[in-house]
Amino acid sequence: MTFASDRNLHDMGLSATARRMLALRDVVLAEWEKRLRSTVREAAGLPHPILINTFPSLYDNIAEAISPGYPRENAAASNTVASEHGGERARLTDYSHQAVIAEYQLLRWTLLDVLRQHGVSLNSQEFHDINASIDACMRESVNAFALAQSALRERFIITVAHDLRNPLQVISSAAELLLHARDPGRIGTLAERIFNNSQRMDRMIQDLLDAAVFQSGERRRLHLSCFDIMETVREVCDQLVEVYGPRFEIVGEPVEGWWDRDALKRVVENLVGNALKYGKPQAPIRIMTASQHERMLLTVHNDGEPIPAEQLETVFQVFRRAEAAKEGEERGWGIGLPYVRSVAESHGGSVQIDSAAGRGTTLSINIPVDARPFQDAPTLGR
């Protein structure tokens, strides 16, 4: 199993050099971490799970990118791993953009040094592809780092007013009819309509409050406890099987850690719900849990039309769904995935997306196994 952002279960389709790279992943990352701590001041005191960040996935993306015929142009193409790395550096460290650049430069030379030390020879194309991938990831990370630092906020008041107006109009119309109703059955129907739409508005307002917390950078209050994320995944899927049938494939390993159980349950519901909405009808939904470098990785994969590369970051912005979703029949504000991001960030981690033709769409959260030391870390808007 690789840690690449498409969650390729095997190394099938990868070149011999790429497979050697994967075998040396831990050696390269350990040496990179050693060099980083000794040369980049901001990295010296960071805990390991924060320092390693999304680099295992980024590293494996590079291995895929150097494999002829594998559907990945470079390590940063059609995924958000590098941009999430930049976002985490802005939120969880005192990095400067120079420090972000320095760690990619160190990765380049560490990777080349370790490959040479272990007798792995690169041809000119592989050398070019490794450098192109690292350069692309560096650009994505620095851009995301700059955006996170500037704490840009969405202008969504018009969208909020429009969407809240719909149930309010239903309530107003039903109340007006209720004033003149005499038939008990009719009164009951109108009262039920008022109740259902008031409940709908209440859910919308709760979503708004969640979004406001996320956008303002205010800390989400976490109620941490120790539990197995696999049990939470099974609980959510067992409930959905009754409606959608046995479409859910749960793979991976149990991972026990300190997190907010209610928040992560809602994260799983959002990720699986997103896969059901935008994946191919009746196609399997694969949910995977794994642990690596004291971090927990939870991914949800579906087959369906890919999200265009230029819209990948949009899906994580409040009230800014991808154009394909806007043009379809699915309703909603697009708050679900921003909520997922806010929960991941509040746990000291991040959320990633990988979407392209031939690979489907994979959404992941990547958080420390023990979130207790990081629950006071700043989020994007802070």
The domain segmentation of the chain, as residue ranges, is: 16-150, 157-216, 224-374
Rounded Cα–Cα distance for residues 93 and 253 (Å): 30
Tell me the backbone φ, ψ of residue 295, rounded to 5 degrees. -125, 150
User: What's the confidence (pLDDT) of residue 220?
Assistant: 66
Confidence tier at 379 by pLDDT (50, 70, 90): low
Rounded Cα–Cα distance for residues 219 and 214 (Å): 8
CA-to-CA separations, 343 to 148, 193, 270, 272, 348, in angstroms, rounded: 16, 33, 12, 16, 9
Nearest to 102 by CA among 64, 148, 73, 141: 141
Rounded Cα–Cα distance for residues 244 and 302 (Å): 14
Structure tokens at 254: 């149990």
- Within this chain, domains 16-150 and 224-374 share the same CATH topology: no
Position 184 pLDDT exceeds 90: no
pLDDT in tens, 328-369: 444 444 567 888 888 898 899 999 999 998 899 999 999 999
In whole angstroms, what separates CA 12 from the centre of its chain? Answer: 25
Position 157 pLDDT exceeds 60: no
* 16-150 under CATH 1.10.3470, yes or no: no
Confidence tier at 323 by pLDDT (50, 70, 90): very low
Compute the residue count for the chain.
382
Give the residue-averaged pLDDT of 130-146.
95
CATH class, 224-374 region: alpha beta
> How much of the chain exceeds pLDDT 70, in percent?
85
